[in-house]
Amino acid sequence: MYSPAMATRIFSWASKSRPISFRACCNSCSRIAMTSANQPLLQKLFTPEYSGAGSLPHMAFPPPSDAVNRICVVISDIHCTDGTVGNQSGEGDDWQRFFQDLRLACRDHDELVLVLNGDIIDLVRSAAWTEAGVYPWDRDHARFAELVNAILDGIIRLHATPFGLFGQHGFFEQLKRLRPLLQADGTAVRIIPIVGNHDKELLLVASARQRFYRDCLGWTDSEQETGYRDWIAAMYGAGKADEPPWLPFYFGDRGFKLFATHGQWRDNSNSRAQPGWRAGQGWHPGTWQGLGFSPFTAACFGDTVAAGLLSGFIHDTKRQLRQLDVTRHPVNARAITRLNHILDEMDLYRPAVAGIVRILQEARLQRGKGVDEALLQLISGNFRASLRRWLAQPVSWRSAPAKLKLFLPVLALLGRIKADRITLGIMKLMAKVQEPQTGIGTLQLLALPGFQKAYREEGFRIHTEGHTHVPLEADLQFEQPADQPNYSYINTGAWRSQIMPKQNYGYRRRGVGRALYVYDRLDPATASRRFGYYLRDAISWCERSDWGGGAA
């Protein structure tokens, strides 16, 4: 039974821009309308007035909105999966509270822009790949598109169908129910579904992409109108808009002073080095256009770990545990129940390798409790088999970052020998190397596009990303432009639980759901534009978990 306790922290910033008269506001709206009527939209996307093309070549932003009072909400890393290797997303109560807060925040606003900043769904973490023997990097296989659609079937069933998620409404179902309520309140809704590294397969399979727009986001064909399609075509440097359009790689809005992108472009495990670019070389949209954005559509090392090692190990081990006869051995029955709980939650550890460390540790702990050795050998034997299968894939070696390539020959050896203690030690070391950042340095911040001079001159003051699953915030100051001294970096973390160690021993499932709220509205008292932003962190604990036993 799910019983969350919710806590909320709010961070806020606010400022007033220069006063404008009502006449000036009307003139601005008229100018926008005239441009829309007399200028092709694709050309408009690149004109300096709207896109900043003079100082930001190779960039394209959506046409400006004429709504008077606007609010933007950004969340990321929802990770809606098909449930075959556990549920990674937030749960029904989490989403109900989020959408209740969202509706309240939209009061007295003409427009909501909801930015889903990458990894909205997760097409990599699924047992379907292992069962078929076809993987996310097998792009030319005859069954690739079929499997992407089959995984999407499971995602729709859990997260976009009434009462699909443990008897509650999942994220997409709640989103689809909220939209008509907001529209009845007078708030137009615009959704920006930015692509991440776990949903990039949508860019490769048009039928799945169309179903995602329709069945998950609830879009009608009219919402994929020419403006949206041409914006996407301009972003990717395409000659024409695809049918259906790709998901955007970034989003920028001058009214909100906001620049958003998922963040995988900074990660050499979840982007793929190509001739002319690798992750350490930073933000280069012009180079990416020339490469067809292949660094972010090609299979990466993170795919091989998630689908080739972790998901396969979870699937095979659970299948074999189900086949065991435990009716005559209650100790074994308790151990199997516990191991199944841990397997269901293995993918909630960060980094992912830490989940493997957890299950190997648990197998060692069970040895002293009268559990059959054969049952425990099933765990270590399946892990060795998964290692061999993973490392038999050439892409695992080709895509590995340099520092992780040092581990692969050692892991290949461990896949062939029975040395559980050594295996556990090596996996602990690998988990340590892959630990996510718990902070961000000044040089890293200065390399982000939102803080580069050309972007600051275009009015951007907030750079937001996700990807790391670690909620962070930091502030910067620049001398130029002189009238905009304050800049903020915000990482929205992940709307998914993680398994955290308890203070004395054991583990607990806990999540932090973070949302960034930005508003751009007209202050009727002063006839000036008012801009501000705040964060809302919802911390939840879940009882539907591994119920915490075992030494930390």
Could you tell me if 179 and 83 lie in one domain? yes
Tell me if 118 is assigned to some domain: yes
Residue 380 phi, psi (nearest 5): -65, -35
Could you tell me if 84 and 212 lie in one domain? yes
Tell me if 52 is assigned to some domain: no
Question: What does the H/E/C string look like for 211-252?
Answer: HHHHHHCCCCHHHHCHHHHHHHHHHHCCCCCCCCCCCCCEEE
Residues in contact with 184: Cβ distance below 8 Å, sequence separation at least 6, in sequence order:
none
Could you tell me if 255 and 341 lie in one domain? no
**Residue 552, Cβ neighbours under 10 Å: how many?**
12
β-strand pairing of 462-465 with 250-253: unpaired
Edge-first strand listing for the sheet containing 250-253:
250-253, 258-261, 462-465, 486-491, 472-477
Tell me if 213 is assigned to some domain: yes
Tell me if 549 is assigned to some domain: no
| Three-state secondary structure call for residue 31 | helix
Last residue within a domain, chosen from 417, 434, 451 = 434
The rounded distance, in Å, linking the Cα atoms of 107 and 467 is 30
* Helix then strand then coil, % of the chain, to nearest 5: 45, 20, 35
Could you tell me if 103 and 180 lie in one domain? yes
State the residue range of the domain holding 110. 69-297+437-541
Could you tell me if 265 and 362 lie in one domain? no
| Three-state secondary structure call for residue 350 | coil
Tell me if 104 is assigned to some domain: yes
Tell me if 492 is assigned to some domain: yes
Could you tell me if 180 and 261 lie in one domain? yes
Quickly list H helices, 367-452: 373-391, 394-398, 402-405, 408-414, 420-433, 442-446
What is the phi-psi region of residue 547: left when phi exceeds 0, alpha when psi lies from -120 to 50, beta otherwise? Answer: left
Tell me if 454 is assigned to some domain: yes
Last residue within a domain, chosen from 381, 414, 434 = 434
Could you tell me if 430 and 317 lie in one domain? yes
Could you tell me if 96 and 221 lie in one domain? yes
The rounded distance, in Å, linking the Cα atoms of 21 and 295 is 47
Last residue within a domain, chosen from 434, 457, 492 = 434
The total number of structural domains that make up the chain: 2
Q: Tell me which H or E stretch contains 490.
A: strand 486-491
pLDDT at 112: 97
| Three-state secondary structure call for residue 482 | coil
The rounded distance, in Å, linking the Cα atoms of 364 and 386 is 19
Could you tell me if 178 and 309 lie in one domain? no
Nearest to 75 by CA among 282, 260, 336, 250: 260
pLDDT at 345: 83
- Within its chain, how far is the Cα of 338 from the centroid? 29
Could you tell me if 441 and 313 lie in one domain? no
Could you tell me if 232 and 253 lie in one domain? yes
Could you tell me if 228 and 103 lie in one domain? yes
| Three-state secondary structure call for residue 439 | coil
Where are the extended beta strands (E) located within 86-215?
A: 111-117, 188-194
| Three-state secondary structure call for residue 334 | helix
pLDDT at 27: 33
Mean pLDDT by 10 residues, the chain (552 residues): 42 46 32 33 39 68 93 96 86 88 96 97 96 97 98 97 92 96 96 97 97 94 76 87 89 97 96 95 96 97 93 92 73 85 83 86 84 86 93 96 88 85 85 82 96 95 95 94 92 87 83 94 92 94 57 34
pLDDT at 324: 80
pLDDT at 314: 93
Tell me if 135 is assigned to some domain: yes
**Bond before 244 cis per omega within 30 degrees:** yes
